[in-house]
Amino acid sequence: ERFVTREPTESSADPEQYFFDKLLSDDVIRSIDQLPIDFRLVVILADLQEFSYKEIAEILDCPVGTVMSRLYRGRKLLQKNLLGYAVESGVVEPKQAMELEAETEVEAEVLEFKRRV
């Protein structure tokens, strides 16, 4: 099931949403759709729908700390998934992308270590 749509309608009641939908690329939508559902929901609610951590916690019936954790991890996964797109679009230089990818891998290892301890 898709949570992000790219098909804006001219008669949309919210002009901001209309332009946002037009600007969202297929690569970004695909990357969001590929996130694990728990992370995807939080990323969409926080970053696209602009709900607060508290509101998201109420919607998902989970602690605020869980929302924060899922949002952090979801954003990191999204960042990793979008590095190629960022390089192709000229937003990030290839060297910078390699540095970001290395940082993401180190952070993932630290998170995995913390989970084991």
For 35-71, how does the pLDDT look when each residue is reduced to its tens digit (9 = 90+)? Answer: 999 999 999 999 989 999 999 999 999 999 999 999 9
The Cα 88–Cα 37 span in angstroms is 27
The Cα 9–Cα 2 span in angstroms is 17
Output 76 or 88, whichever has higher pLDDT. Answer: 76
Token pair 């969001």 in the structure block, residue: 32
Tokens representing 88? 């192709």
Q: Enumerate the domain spans of the chain.
A: 15-116
The Cα 92–Cα 89 span in angstroms is 8
Could you confirm whether domain 15-116 is CATH 3.10.450.50?
Answer: no
**Model-level pTM greater than 0.85?**
no
